[in-house]
Structure 1
């Protein structure tokens, strides 16, 4: 028991002495802490951004079975309008579900509020296929009836000054200039970053309308095999080979599409969890590698600077070390004392970085135009 207390007292004394030395050499301590604090903070911010980008599409329901239909010979992000639906109808043993949408922009109005909005005209499978939850409304029926609309909570506040906008009406203009009231049937919860509602920078959609309203927007060719401009997704049944699906897709194209499309269009399913990182020839993945290298380099430079400052300080304290040896100090004790001081400085810098992180994330997010995850959410 006495040995245990003696050990605790010794450690306590090490920390007391370390703190006195830090205060005594405050200029060196501040410079060292600031350098390490900056390095840790920037590394945390970069690391959080990289982590967030790696999680795109991975929080979707059944993410490992969700695929995006990517085209070769046309726009790579769109394909034939009826294709994914026909896949479900002809190959139910392969395809569990499908989703298609057409992106439009139109004027939405409520009272004296008029804004041009991004609208996603899509299948009623959107909510339950990807697990997008509703704050208000019933996911089973929200996208069933014509002239119904599901909106984000930000849109609800923007037009109705409240989140619970279910049952409210909002006017949406057609391309001919006429206006029709749409009934709000659902308000979305916060949805994770994904390539369904936010396929690219031009398609960050906030209004979701069922496809049985496509005639109002002049989209009569939505179900046409000559329409090659519809982003499409499929969910595979468990344990289904992608190669089997690949063959089935191209067989349907050969059976239904026009000759010119048969000759020029090839469609391949791409795992949705990989799509975001590999699109544009892997541009996002290369950028994340670069940012990761920069973050590690910044942290390495901060560590090197910290070590150099520690060595420089030790050299300046040779006289103090000599006095300690004369007074009976052992080498091991002196080394431990210096290590305790360094540990305290690292702890202070780390705590400051953790405190600064939530304060700097909004600034960093505005700079890069992306949300940054909370520190303890990854």
Structure 2
């Protein structure tokens, strides 16, 4: 039986190579898309798999229920949270990871790095893969540092750098540390950065007296480990009561603390996709892979039923010789299985060849490792074979159902009857409806991406450099101010300023309530504003639009903010600038109505001296937060330097700033980026996912074309004698071509119309995630239909013209 099936499979490929090739290509392309997007889905949903403790680890997040703030979970915790939890629940296992900047000294050179300040149990808590050193003792001594393989190679030129000395400069000053352990580099699918670690010491936490136990602040990542999910759930149920006890009446006597600040225990495995919009995007791309496989299987059913007539006499002869229908069905299912296996092998080759291109287009790090991925590949193969066999059931039963007498007595190749014809047309319509929907979404995606990248975001993003080095702890205030003053004199520089309100950087984010006279001062009722500290010329540098009033002036003493040590004059009125959104949230009818109005903010009296246009510094998917600006002529809190230039190229500007920096702060590495690059961290993921969707949709369209071409070739071949008769009776070649094209294109046109409401719903749902979304462009629906029709026209035109040119004598010749 098996030998017979192999023989029949081989002969079907040899005797009808066109249909066999079309079938194989359609299946291979669909399976290749399915494998690639399955690989992508697995990559995105398997973050932190490097840790054997992943199923048992949870991270503490915070959800704030203040007016005007989103309900998102922020994955950061108060520095002293684990200490307070340990006091209340001593049985709970926990650890912390606090990312800090550090300067590494290597001879005369200095380098910026990120160091993780962690608890002593961190390495054993996560089961970090160790290459050299003891995980239990590597972080026991504050003078020790743990490096990754990459860091060890970078600074020592070898992997085993245990015992070597490093000179580091961070908040605790310039010190030497001994390398105590080397850990393996973590894979790409991780949000955890473990390149350099040292012990979090009491000396370091003492430097944060105002924030370490300040409920509502977020400095670090706090992790907890539980033996079972039930233990984690039991602990999570106690968090509201714990929050209420610890916070007390800090938020007022009339509010319940946990209803304002909610602690959320998040499984570590879910952290990467905690953003519901990101999770929906990943799921959507996974669905694209499934759709591509379904379209390929539809294509297979179409071509298999079309080819049924070509094998009708084979079936009739075998039945005449005694073959039962069950045997024939089994043979055709085995042939389908072999076809799927061959298509899977071809698809793997296509994936291997295309992965570099896909990684580049989608900003990914996908790869196929046949040793570690063998279980996953076998599961994908099982899905493909199961789906393929399911799709092959109808063709197998249709072939086995042919009547020998009818087939052998007929001079015409049977086509499966009217039902098979309707099935083929219906499946082709499904294919091209999916293609049309894909075209609608592609055009909508591209228009939206173009819009958010070119839209007015309230400030000028071009020709703006951001000097990150200024906020390094090793830079003195005198050096900061000297650099900004000198930068203003550089050729091509129009403005330079210091601020911690930075385009594309949310590393410093503060929010507080603001209350107008006569309003209730309550965390649950008073509007919340995000506030930042800016220096001189900040708004002029950004090109921000002043709607009403003025911006800060260093010559006006009332503009200077209060001292951060709590000794500020509580009776004095300080000047603030707010954004349009803040004016609206505060209840003002217009920006003009907010001018010169008093308010209470952060326990100080303030007066609004100006209102500026909203500026989109962050994610385009999220609303622009209401903003309040404070002025500090000597700003130093988490500030960066910003330089506006014109008349010279970006590389030349970078070089000018680098030379100036080396003159002023030679012991601190120079770190500069453009505002456009900073902002692109928010826009690039959307572009990358759009590229992936476009590639998948393009291949789906190709699969549809393959199916349409095969169906057109089959139907045209069945109408050769009809075409010959028509030409003998006077029909021109153009009339014959028109007849055939109408037959083939009519289902495509109907499918395109069916796709309009589906495309509208899908695009509308996608656009809802953006705060600044384009209006639904209705013109893309007919354009998508026209594109689908043109693709179909090009696909079947060659077949139609070939049939129309056939000489009547040859067409009517009978064997």
TM-score range, shorter chain: 0.7 to 0.9
The answer to whether the aligner puts 1:307 opposite 2:301 as a matched pair is: yes
Deviation at 1:213, TM superposition (A): 8.3
CA contact (8 A) 2:63 2:264 kept: no
Q: Deviations over 1:193-232 (max 9, x none)?
A: 787xx26xxxx452212112864x9955498323823222
Cα 1:118/1:360, change in 2 over 3 Å: farther
CA contact (8 A) 1:124 1:210 kept: yes
Residue of structure 2 equivalent to 1:235: 225
Residue of structure 2 equivalent to 1:25: 16
Cα 1:90/1:334, change in 2 over 3 Å: closer
Query: Which segments of 5 or more consecutive residues in structure 1 lack a partner in the other structure?
Result: 1-9
SS at match of 2:147: strand
Q: Deviations over 1:125-168 (max 9, x none)?
A: 21111111211111112112224222222222333333222122
SS at match of 2:74: coil
CA contact (8 A) 1:365 1:371 kept: yes
The answer to whether the aligner puts 1:56 opposite 2:47 as a matched pair is: yes
SS at match of 1:103: strand
Cα 1:356/1:151, change in 2 over 3 Å: farther
Residue of structure 2 equivalent to 1:149: 145
Q: Summarize the alignment of residues 1-378 of structure 1 with structure 2, pairs less than 5 Å apart.
A: 10-57=1-48, 60-73=51-64, 76-93=74-91, 95=92, 97-111=93-107, 115-174=111-170, 179-191=174-186, 198=191, 204-212=193-201, 215=204, 219-221=207-209, 224-226=212-214, 228-231=217-220, 232-236=222-226, 239=231, 240-254=234-248, 266-273=261-268, 275-276=270-271, 279-280=274-275, 282-318=276-312, 321=315, 324=317, 328=321, 330=323, 332=325, 334-355=328-349, 357=351, 361=355, 364-366=358-360, 367-371=362-366, 374=369, 375-376=373-374, 378=376
Cα 1:133/1:326, change in 2 over 3 Å: closer
CA contact (8 A) 1:66 1:236 kept: yes
CA contact (8 A) 2:55 2:269 kept: no
CA contact (8 A) 1:35 1:302 kept: yes
Cα 1:18/1:69, change in 2 over 3 Å: closer
SS at match of 2:263: strand
Higher relative contact order (CA 8 A, sep 6+): 1
Q: Normalising by the residue count of structure 1, what TM-score does the alignment of the two structures yield?
A: 0.78
Corresponding residue pairs, total: 356
Deviation at 1:62, TM superposition (A): 4.6
Cα 1:337/1:155, change in 2 over 3 Å: same
Structure-1 separation of matches of 2:285 and 2:213: 43
Deviation at 1:235, TM superposition (A): 2.9
Q: Which moved more, 1:104-113 or 1:178-187?
A: 104-113
Structure-2 separation of matches of 1:192 and 1:164: 20
SS at match of 2:136: coil
Structure-1 separation of matches of 2:33 and 2:108: 44
CA contact (8 A) 1:67 1:233 kept: yes
Deviation at 1:84, TM superposition (A): 0.8
Cα 1:141/1:360, change in 2 over 3 Å: farther
Structure-2 separation of matches of 1:229 and 1:372: 36
Structure-2 separation of matches of 1:48 and 1:305: 23
CA contact (8 A) 2:79 2:212 kept: yes
CA contact (8 A) 1:22 1:341 kept: no
Structure-1 separation of matches of 2:297 and 2:242: 55
Cα 1:36/1:326, change in 2 over 3 Å: closer
Structure-1 separation of matches of 2:107 and 2:7: 67
Q: Deviations over 1:3-62 (max 9, x none)?
A: xxxxxxx43133123213213323322222222122112212222332333333466455
Cα 1:58/1:247, change in 2 over 3 Å: farther
Query: Which segments of 5 or more consecutive residues in structure 2 lack a partner in the other structure?
Result: 67-72, 377-815
Cα 1:341/1:283, change in 2 over 3 Å: same
Structure-2 separation of matches of 1:86 and 1:153: 35
Structure-2 separation of matches of 1:250 and 1:362: 52
Give the aligned CA root-mean-square deviation in angstroms.
Answer: 3.7
Deviation at 1:121, TM superposition (A): 1.6
SS at match of 1:241: helix
Structure-2 separation of matches of 1:180 and 1:143: 16
CA contact (8 A) 1:169 1:183 kept: yes
Deviation at 1:180, TM superposition (A): 3.5
Deviation at 1:298, TM superposition (A): 0.7
Q: Normalising by the residue count of structure 2, what TM-score does the alignment of the two structures yield?
A: 0.39
CA contact (8 A) 2:46 2:269 kept: no
Structure-2 separation of matches of 1:308 and 1:112: 71
Cα 1:303/1:112, change in 2 over 3 Å: farther
Q: Which moved more, 1:338-347 or 1:262-271?
A: 262-271
Deviation at 1:312, TM superposition (A): 2.0
Q: Deviations over 1:249-277 (max 9, x none)?
A: 4423339x7989x9696241413246426
Structure-2 separation of matches of 1:155 and 1:321: 68
SS at match of 1:268: strand
Structure-2 separation of matches of 1:258 and 1:326: 85
Cα 1:246/1:53, change in 2 over 3 Å: farther
SS at match of 2:141: coil
Structure-1 separation of matches of 2:318 and 2:57: 68
Q: Which moved more, 1:366-375 or 1:28-37?
A: 366-375
Cα 1:78/1:341, change in 2 over 3 Å: closer
Cα 1:68/1:17, change in 2 over 3 Å: closer
CA contact (8 A) 1:242 1:269 kept: yes
Deviation at 1:182, TM superposition (A): 2.8
